[in-house]
Structure 1
Amino acid sequence: MKKRIHLELRNRTPFDVRELVLDNCRSNEGKIEGLTAEFVNLEFLSLINVGLISVSNLPKLSKLKKLELSDNRISGALDVLAEKLPNLTHLNLSGNKLKDISTLEPLKKLDNLKSLDLFNCEVTNLNDYRESVFKLLPQLTYLDGYDLEDKEASDSDGEV
């Protein structure tokens, strides 16, 4: 992952990077590595299918708006997201090991969170899943691409 970050910089400094896509590169011990708080202007981060178990060592990224974490093995400890990503608006946790509504509780602190995707997570099999998530996270506009009235997100709403 560190090597991939170095390659993605392409002679830029972390300060200059607004978008970082690290999909499919293996993480060491299931953790984020090589990503530092020097990426102060990062607005979009994609870590799809990198083998993450935890997001605990995510650096503070105050400008990050969209985080893609699908197809990993994250099962909880989401409190770090609220702590380190205060302006997050879009979060994709599809295909992770989230089983209970209670594991989503820390996301209440993400005041700006508008869109959450949980496709292919066990939590989606629970009775009243959608109602429970919207109740827990009243700031959400879209859950799995649909609003509370089951209206699909338009492309402009669903994107940063």
Structure 2
Amino acid sequence: MININLLSVSNLPKLNKLRKLELSDNRISGGLEVLAEKTPNLTHLNLSGNKIKDINTLEPLKKLPNLHSLDLFNCEVTMLINYRESVFALLPQLTYLDGFDADEQEAPDSDPEADGDALEDDYENGEEGEEEEDDEEEDDLDEEVIDDEEDEDDDLEGEEEEDGVDDEEEDEEEDGEEDEEDEAEEDHPCGQKRKRSLEDEGEEDAEDEEDDEDD
């Protein structure tokens, strides 16, 4: 809830699992006891840029046992003498005040915000990994479909070749049957009679030709 002209946190709902609360650049000047009631598990609280003027205003934060990072940058309270020492004395659970510990050592980058970003990155990477697996599965399916189509084509070609062989065999069988029929006709008495008739006609034609030559 950054920069929304918030005057107090009195209407904050009960958020037992909330760990980090951003309230910077508002107009909050007190009433921090609500945080202990509504957000008891806070670890990070950012009140920078608000209207907090004295150390006593921060006393309700003592009831937040897990609070280890507090930011009061650009608040008037930071102008007080011995400000840092007073806040660390008032809130012994604190590790970092305005990004530095009591020994002026800067807080590491691995804060909950950064951890949250890391979790988001892991989540996004996980999604990308799933998409790649899905793509690989789709590719495998495509390859299987192509293989199936090729097998079908091979089967069709094999069937066509078999059909062609069957047709040739049928033609050969038909030719053989026709030859057998012709032979059967020749062996049949009618066939032999017809053959003799043709032979007689040939002899008669030869005799006629000889008679014509004699004339």
Counterpart of 2:14 in structure 1: which amino acid? K
Q: Secondary structure at the match of 1:155?
A: coil
Sort the Cα spacing of 1:61 and 1:158 in 2 relative to 1 into closer, same or farther, 3 A. Answer: closer
| Aligned: 1:95 with 2:73 | no
Counterpart of 1:113 in structure 2: which amino acid? L
Counterpart of 1:136 in structure 2: which amino acid? L
| Aligned: 1:83 with 2:37 | yes
| Aligned: 1:55 with 2:31 | no
Structure 2 segments unaligned to the other structure (5+ residues) = 116-215
Give the CA deviation at 1:158.
Answer: 6.0
Structure 2 matches for 1:55-134, cutoff 5 A?
55-134=9-88
Counterpart of 1:106 in structure 2: which amino acid? P
Corresponding position of 1:6: none
Q: Which has the higher strand share?
A: 1
Q: TM-score, normalised by structure 1?
A: 0.70
Q: Which has the higher helix share?
A: 2
1:79-106 C-alpha deviation (Å, 9 max, x unpaired):
0001110110000000000000000000
Q: Which of the pair has the greater relative contact order for Cα pairs under 8 Å at 6+ separation?
A: 1
- Distance, in Å, in 2 between the alignment partners of 1:101 and 1:48 is 22
- Distance, in Å, in 2 between the alignment partners of 1:92 and 1:107 is 12
Corresponding position of 1:41: none
| Aligned: 1:142 with 2:96 | yes
Query: Is this contact kept in 2: 1:145–1:158, CA < 8 A?
Result: no
Give the CA deviation at 1:157.
Answer: 3.6
May I ask how many residue pairs the two structures share in their alignment?
Answer: 114
Following TM superposition, the consecutive aligned residue runs of length 4 or more in structure 1 with deviations greater than 6 angstroms are none
- Distance, in Å, in 1 between the alignment partners of 2:70 and 2:54 is 15
Q: TM-score, normalised by structure 2?
A: 0.52
Structure 1 segments unaligned to the other structure (5+ residues) = 1-46
